[in-house]
Amino acid sequence: MGGVPCIRGLRIPVATIVGMFADGMAEAEILNAYPDLETEDIREAMRYAAEAVRERELPLLIAD
């Protein structure tokens, strides 16, 4: 996957799972979409994302 962080070698990018969660999908819907995933995979993806943004400062954009 060209160095893109993936879920336990499943070739499912962490960003895909985080994006689905951010778009409002429920955990059950994500697990339905990717039957090879487990609940802990989603939690690990979110932990990874939290750690990634903790590493650097990102501007907070506030919509008017």
Rounded-to-integer distance, Cα 6 and Cα 53, Å: 17
Rounded-to-integer distance, Cα 2 and Cα 42, Å: 21
Mean pLDDT within 42-46: 94
pLDDT bin (cut points 50, 70, 90) of residue 55 is low
pLDDT bin (cut points 50, 70, 90) of residue 32 is very high
pTM: 0.76
- Inter-axis angle of helices 14-22 and 39-54, to 10 degrees? 90
In 3D space, the residue among 59, 9, 7, 63 whose CA is nearest the CA of residue 31 turns out to be: 7
